[in-house]
Structure 1
Amino acid sequence: MQENNGHHLVSLRKHTTDDLAFMQALYASTREAELAMTNFTRQEKEAFIQQQFNAQYQHYLHHYNSDKFDIIEFDGQAIGRLFVDHWDREIRIVDITLTPDYQNKGIGSYLFKQLFEQAKAGNKAVTIHVEHNNPAKNLYQRLGFELKTQTNEIYLLMQWTP
């Protein structure tokens, strides 16, 4: 998948073990605000991030088909990850994360719209989990996702249907 966004190219490529350090740093960027509120030392924060990233990554590999676990690139530079699993009746977005410098630039919306086209072609829904207080929830709602289910007031399963 490639898009000439102005003069810039957004593309996906299958992740490899060579991407693990990038993905861990990307994961760390999503936890910075939370960890800033702790009294952890730098080493404790790094150990916590490594443990949490490894647990999440292993969970994804164990519970989802990783054939569509991709690195998002912008002009050939890794800027995020898009992990997707295709099921009989839905396309599950397992994870989408962009580095802070590339958030709010339309890249996520572009990638979602590509998935919506795939969903329309296969007559499938697109689903994604999001925490109730995650600002990305607003983007998902703007794109047409609606609440499907809620787990213990924290996790929402949102669904887009063609």
Structure 2
Amino acid sequence: MTLPLSGLAFPPSREPSTRVPADLRKQGFGVRIAEQRDLGFMRALYETLRAEEMARVAWPEGARQSFLDSQFTLQHRHFTTQFQHAEFLVLEHRGQAVGRLYLLRESPRWLVIDIGLLPAWQGRGIGGALLRQLQRDAQGSHAQGLALHVRLDNGRAHALYVRLGFREQGGVEGLHQRMHWDVPTAVAQLNTA
């Protein structure tokens, strides 16, 4: 079964406010607004992000693809309807799509809706560099910090977020743990002065 991507879309968007850190730009990375033409890539990325989980399921290939298609469609519609004012960004390396960053810049904390990289680009410090840039950007604005959700079975991402100063917030929500990072108090006081 082939996913009917023509029925999916991204909300209208303006130029991204999110900046790629200088060290990543020097390496050929950039971001741009996601468009209809990116849906095939987003679907393929979604499958890679669920590969480990799906490897534990003994389904015929057709059933696996059908399930992933439906789950991608549901996730995409949820993100684009619940977060219509978000930046839906494609992370590129020398013009080739390698990941996505979905970010909602609303008070009090900006929400990192989703961040994901193709497996070949994971573990290279790219996600950490992007999140550190978002932390700097939040410090320069009137945001209190950043919030995100991490899958309970994603130990690598959880460890990265903890290293970046994120703390667990509240209880578990389904298969995810909510985490947040707050702008340091001295910086927050300067931003409101």
Q: TM-score under structure 1 normalisation?
A: 0.93
Matches within 5 A, 1:8-87: 8-87=27-106
Looking at structure 2, the residues matched to 115 and 65 of structure 1 have their Cα atoms a distance apart, in angstroms, of 20
Tell me, yes or no, if structure 1 residue 111 matches structure 2 residue 125.
Answer: no
Match of 1:147 among 165, 168, 184: 168
Q: Residues 143 and 43 of structure 1: is their aligned pair in 2 closer, same or farther, counting only changes over 3 Å?
A: same
Q: Which SS does the other structure have where 2:40 is aligned?
A: helix
Q: Residues 71 and 153 of structure 1: is their aligned pair in 2 closer, same or farther, counting only changes over 3 Å?
A: closer
Which residue of structure 1 lines up, in the alignment, with residue 139 of structure 2? 120
Aligned length: 162
Tell me, yes or no, if structure 1 residue 97 matches structure 2 residue 116.
Answer: yes
Determine if contact 1:148/1:158 at 8 Å carries over to the other structure. Answer: yes
Looking at structure 2, the residues matched to 15 and 8 of structure 1 have their Cα atoms a distance apart, in angstroms, of 21
Matches within 5 A, 1:131-146: 131-135=151-155, 136-146=157-167
Looking at structure 1, the residues matched to 171 and 130 of structure 2 have their Cα atoms a distance apart, in angstroms, of 25
Shift of 1:38: 1.6
Amino acid at match of 1:27: Y
Shift of 1:52: 0.3
Cα offsets for 1:19-78 (capped at 9, x unmatched): 001000000001112212222111111111100000000000111135411000112210
Shift of 1:6: 8.6
Structure 1: runs of 5 or more not aligned: none
Identity of aligned residues (%): 30
Shift of 1:155: 2.0
Determine if contact 2:86/2:105 at 8 Å carries over to the other structure. Answer: no
Tell me, yes or no, if structure 1 residue 129 matches structure 2 residue 145.
Answer: no
Q: Superposition RMSD on alpha carbons, in Å?
A: 1.6
Q: Which SS does the other structure have where 1:87 is aligned?
A: coil
Looking at structure 2, the residues matched to 65 and 144 of structure 1 have their Cα atoms a distance apart, in angstroms, of 28
Which residue of structure 1 lines up, in the alignment, with residue 12 of structure 2? none
Q: Which SS does the other structure have where 1:82 is aligned?
A: strand
Determine if contact 1:66/1:83 at 8 Å carries over to the other structure. Answer: no
Shift of 1:133: 2.2
User: When you count strand as a share of all residues, which structure comes out higher?
Assistant: 1
